[in-house]
Amino acid sequence: MQYLRIPRDRVGVLLGRDGSLKRKVEEETGVLISVDSDEGNVEIDGSKAPDRVMELKVASYVNAIGRGFSSQRARRLLSEDVFLEIMHISDYVGGRKNRILRMRGRIIGRGGRSRETLENLTETMISVQGDTVAIIGDPLELELARSSVDMLLRGSEHSSVFRFLESRQRELKLRELTYSIEPEWPEEE
C-alpha cells in the first residue's frame, strides 16, 4: 500500500467525470485507488492486483497527474518500460522564486516552444510545474531528456542543447539500423 499527496486542483484530473478515469485505471490494473478530495491524499492498494508491480506503476501515474500531466499522457506510465523522472529546479538555483521562474521559462520557452522541441527530439513527455520538471519516457529517452534539461538548467544555450539532441538522435537511429539488419547466412544445400 502506498500513500501519496497531490495538489487539490489536480484531484479532478485523477478522478475524471464522476470518477470514470479512476474506475477505468482500477479495472485495467486491479489496483484500488482511494482519494480524499479535500486534502489531496491518495491511497494506492495493489494487494489484489494480479501483478504487484502495477501498484508502483499506478503510483507513478498518480504522481504524474500531480505534477501536471493530463490523465491521457500519464497513462503511458501504465505500460512496461515507461518511467517517471522528477527533477527539482531548486537543486540547480536554490530556493529563490525569481531564479526558479527564470529557469522554468528557459525550459518552457516562448509559447511552450522549447518544451515542445525537447519533447519531439527526446520522444518524451515533459511537464513543468512549481519547481519541478517531470519527464515520462523509456529509460533511453529519459536519459536524453534528463541530460538536455540539465544542460538548460546549467545555462547552456538552447541552440547548443538542440544540436546535442539532434546529433544523439542521429547516433541512435544509426545504431537501430545497424542492429536491425539481419545477417545473410549461406543457404544449406
pLDDT tens for each residue of 130-152? 999 999 999 989 999 999 999 99
**Which CA distances in Å does 170 have to 20, 166, 189?**
42, 6, 41
Q: What is the overall mean pLDDT for the chain?
A: 91
For residues 129 and 45, state if they share a domain.
Answer: no
Point out the domain boundary residue: 78, 93, 110: 78
* Rounded distance between C-alpha atoms, residue 57 and residue 96, angstroms: 33
The confidence band for 109, taking pLDDT boundaries of 50, 70 and 90, is: very high
Point out the domain boundary residue: 28, 49, 78: 78
* Rounded distance between C-alpha atoms, residue 57 and residue 62, angstroms: 9
pLDDT score at 108: 96
Residue 87 has pLDDT above 80, yes or no: yes
pLDDT score at 61: 97
For residues 74 and 34, state if they share a domain.
Answer: yes
Per the structure, how many domains does the chain have? Answer: 2
Helix (H) or strand (E) holding 135: strand 132-137
The confidence band for 32, taking pLDDT boundaries of 50, 70 and 90, is: very high
Mean pLDDT of 55-66: 96
Domain that holds residue 34: 2-78
pLDDT score at 184: 64
* Rounded distance between C-alpha atoms, residue 77 and residue 61, angstroms: 6
For residues 131 and 164, state if they share a domain.
Answer: yes
Point out the domain boundary residue: 78, 111, 133: 78
Query: Which candidate, 44, 73, 91, 78, places its Cα nearest to that of 135?
Result: 73
For residues 69 and 88, state if they share a domain.
Answer: no
Q: Residue 115: inside a domain, yes or no?
A: yes
Residue 186 has pLDDT above 80, yes or no: no
CATH code of 111's domain:
3.30.1370.10
pLDDT score at 95: 85
Helix (H) or strand (E) holding 72: helix 71-74
pLDDT score at 51: 87
For residues 120 and 151, state if they share a domain.
Answer: yes
